Amino acid sequence: MTPTTPLEASGARTATAQVHEAIKQRILDGAYRPLEFVREAAVARELEVSRTPVREALRELVSEGWLEAIPHQGARVAEWTEKDAREVFELRLVLEPMAVGLACRHIDADTLAHLDDLASRMEALTESPLDGAGHSELASLNHEFHRLLIQASDNQRLAQILESVVRTSIIRRNFASYDRSALKRSMQHHREMLIAIGAGNAAWAENVMRAHLLAARVLHVTVDTSTATSSPP
Amino acid sequence: MTPTTPLEASGARTATAQVHEAIKQRILDGAYRPLEFVREAAVARELEVSRTPVREALRELVSEGWLEAIPHQGARVAEWTEKDAREVFELRLVLEPMAVGLACRHIDADTLAHLDDLASRMEALTESPLDGAGHSELASLNHEFHRLLIQASDNQRLAQILESVVRTSIIRRNFASYDRSALKRSMQHHREMLIAIGAGNAAWAENVMRAHLLAARVLHVTVDTSTATSSPP
DNA sequence: ATCTCTTACATTGCATACAATCGTAAGAGT
DNA sequence: ACTCTTACGATTGTATGCAATGTAAGAGAT
């Protein structure tokens, strides 16, 4: 029915990995709505593979939190509630500062230079007014900045947890709602974090990260600011 | 060859779930050694199912961190290194205090009473010298105590992350190496945490948890105490 | 009219057969 | 003796057919 990219040029080699990517993309695109069931047979038909790789891809997506499985009934797109947003934010507010704190002790000059470059490119983008593509580019650079910082923590588990936690929420987040001053402040946070890390000052870097995240939250959801957790004075 | 419980009375209903449990148990028992490959065909033969549910169980175990997958080569038991121990401890040291802090705001009387009961039973156990069974019982109660506390945080993601992070490390941890004073201190920490939670004092509860974890670590691994992270004064 | 039981259908769960891929060891050539 | 090639065997990856299970619609009874 829907001619929606039947597997074609996907970097992945196994059919399971391709189906995995395809379904994830459809969720991100909104082609599959929350609470909608993703049927094995239907996906298999549309992507022109058998049900086996579809089954395996669905199980992976379930364990990654994209879908929820109901025994003998199938897998459906996980719903995104206010509570989910709160949970993810609580976790980021603790884990990302932890990551930059650890990064202070492990980071190498190359990574720091790469981060510096990313920060510069983001700053350059914010010099002029942004269109849709600009917002998209900025979001992409920002995501890469955070990802690289997290990798520098030298804690694989932490990196994996944050990746999966952030990824599921990144869909609904962009810079469209940022006004000029909020954007500049965000860029300054990045810059300040790099300086703190370069100075090996973990506490400084951690607190800038907390400020960075809290400032961003104000723009996205209504917050009870008294519920902040584990924040040192 | 090895008559190792061919599926029989396992609470789970689907074959996949049963295989999942069986393999996990064998890893815990040490029947599968680190870096040893778990072959689909072999497991299928021994548990008297087809390869299909075995494949699905293996994939789940991979995503839970018990096994690591190598494309076209199979899944093998994940190795446990010093670095793994360090990573898990760093995470616990941040996430478990976060959990008790959150629990301070959400906990109900029933849960608190249940925790109180668990603490009492552990204290009773430590009154008399412990044999092997005693240590096992104590470890079980302790695990349940922490698990319940984490659930009370009312953050499903946090609970799931901690469960999977702690579970993989719990294998090599028990109370055999605890001397009398260390045991009593551990029990006092539990008690103090409950009092802090009952008083709604999150900072107090969080810091007792950090002390609890740090005290436990001294008994298990050699530590560079300067690497503690995100610890408020 | 409402409730319960029956029955048919859609969908997942499992088994088996076949194809693709990788590691390895034997063998030819240098 | 060493290296490169190549064919084989073992193992995973994929397809398809059948069984088990849950859902929902409809007939019958209260």
Lowest mean pLDDT among A169-183, A205-219, B91-105: A169-183
Mutation site, A16, A160, A229, interface B, largest B CB count within 10 A: A229
Instruction: Verify if strand C has an atom below 7 Å from the CB of A74.
Output: yes
- Closest Cα of chain B to A230: distance in Å? 6
Residue B173 is predicted with a pLDDT of: 56
Q: From the Cβ of B50, is strand C under 7 Å away?
A: yes
Mean pLDDT estimate for chain B: 85
Residue A134: predicted pLDDT: 77
Which chain A residues are within 8 Å of B101, Cβ to Cβ? 229-230
Sign of CA dihedral A170, A175, A177, A183: positive
Q: Do A229 and B158 touch (CB under 8 A)?
A: no
Write the secondary structure of B183-231 as one string of H (helix), E (strand) and C (coil). Answer: HHHHHHHHHHHHHHHHCCCHHHHHHHHHHHHHHHHHHHCCCCHHHCCCC
Asked if residues A119 and A190 have their Cβ atoms less than 8 Å apart, the reply is yes
Query: What residues of B are in contact with residue A155 (Cβ under 8 Å)?
Result: 87, 90-91
**pLDDT of A182 higher than 60:** yes
Q: What is the pLDDT of residue A231?
A: 42
The pLDDT, as a whole number, for residue A172 is 54
The DSSP result for A5-66, as a single string, is --S-S-S--SHHHHHHHHHHHHHHHTSSPTT-EE-HHHHHHHHTS-HHHHHHHHHHHHHTTS
Q: Give residue B133's identity as a one-letter amino acid code.
A: A
Q: Is B172 helix (H, G, I), strand (E, B) or coil?
A: coil
> Tens digit of pLDDT for each residue in B148-202?
999 999 999 999 999 888 876 666 555 666 677 888 899 999 999 999 999 999 9
- Residue A230 is given by DSSP the state S
Q: Which domains occur in chain A, in start order?
A: 15-77 (1.10.10.10), 82-227 (1.20.120.530)
Q: pLDDT, tens digit, for every residue of A113-164?
A: 999 999 999 999 888 776 777 778 888 898 899 999 999 999 999 999 998 8
Q: How far apart are CA B139 and CA A189, in angstroms?
A: 44
* Chain B contact set for A165 (CB, 8 A): 157
Beta strands (DSSP E) in A139-190 are none
Reported as a pLDDT band with limits 50, 70 and 90, residue B228 is: very low
Give pLDDT, residue A187.
92
B58 near B67, Cβ under 8 Å? yes
Over the stretch B54-99, which tens digit does the pLDDT of each residue have?
999 999 999 988 999 999 999 999 988 889 989 999 999 999 999 9
Query: Nearest nt (C1') to A72 (CA)?
Result: C12
- pLDDT at residue A219, as a whole number: 59
Residue A204 has pLDDT above 60, yes or no: yes
> Where does B45-192 show beta strands of DSSP type E?
67-70, 74-77
Q: Is the pLDDT score of A17 beyond 70? A: yes
Angstroms from A108 CA to nearest CA on chain B? 18
Distance from CA of B127 to the nearest CA of A (A): 35
pLDDT band at A95 (very low <50, low <70, confident <90, very high): very high
> For A75 and D30, how far is CA from C1' in angstroms?
40
Query: Residue B66: CB partners within 8 Å, gap ≥ 6?
Result: B23, B24, B27, B77, B78, B168
* Buried/exposed A133-151: b ≥16 CB within 10 Å, e otherwise: eebebbeebbeebbbbbbb
List b or e across B100-122, with b for residues whose CB sees 16 or more CB atoms inside 10 angstroms.
Answer: bbbbbeebeeebbeebeebbeeb
A12 touches strand D (CB under 7 A): no
Interface test mutation site (partner A, options B157, B161, B165, max chain A beta carbons within 10 A): B157
Whether B125 shows a pLDDT value over 50: the answer reads yes
The nucleotide closest to B14 (CA, C1' atoms): C13
B55 touches strand D (CB under 7 A): yes
Residue A189 has pLDDT above 90, yes or no: yes
Contacts of B12 in chain A (CB under 8 A): none
pLDDT at B80: 87
| Chain C positions with any atom < 7 A from a protein CB | 11-17, 21-23
Residues in A lying within 8 Å of B, measured between beta carbons? 13-14, 55-56, 59-60, 63-64, 71, 87-88, 90-91, 94-95, 97-98, 101-102, 105, 155-158, 161, 165, 202, 206, 227, 229-233
| SS3 category, A160 | helix
Which pLDDT band, with edges at 50, 70 and 90, does B137 fall under? confident
pLDDT band at B138 (very low <50, low <70, confident <90, very high): confident
On strand D, nucleotides with any atom < 7 Å from a protein CB are: 11-17, 20-23
Beta-carbon count within 10 A of A130 CB: 18
- What single DSSP character describes residue B91? H
Mean pLDDT, range B214-226, rounded to an integer: 60
* Range among B115-124, B127-136, B138-147 with highest mean pLDDT value: B115-124
Amino acid sitting at position B77: V
Q: Is the CB of B72 under 7 A from strand D?
A: yes
Query: Which residue on chain B is closest to A12 by alpha carbon?
Result: B71
Average confidence (pLDDT) over B118-124: 93
**How many contacts (CB atoms, under 8 Å) link A and B?**
80
Confidence class of residue A6 from pLDDT cuts 50, 70 and 90?
very low
Q: Which long-range contacts (CB under 8 A, 24 or more apart) does A193-200 make?
A: A193/A100, A193/A149, A194/A112, A194/A115, A194/A116, A194/A119, A196/A104, A197/A100, A197/A103, A197/A104, A197/A107, A197/A112, A198/A112, A200/A104, A200/A105
Q: Which of A70-79, A109-118, B21-30, B217-226 bottoms out in mean pLDDT, i.e. has the lowest?
A: B217-226
B3-55 pLDDT per residue, tens: 333 444 445 578 999 999 999 999 988 899 999 999 999 999 999 999 999 99
A87: CB partners within 8 A, 6+ apart: B155, B156, B157, B158
- As a whole number of angstroms, the distance between CA B55 and CA B40 comes to 6
Nearest CA in chain B to A105: B227
Q: Which of A158, A202, A233 sits opposite B91 (nearest CB)?
A: A158
pLDDT, averaged across chain A: 85
| pLDDT band at residue A43 under the 50/70/90 scheme | very high
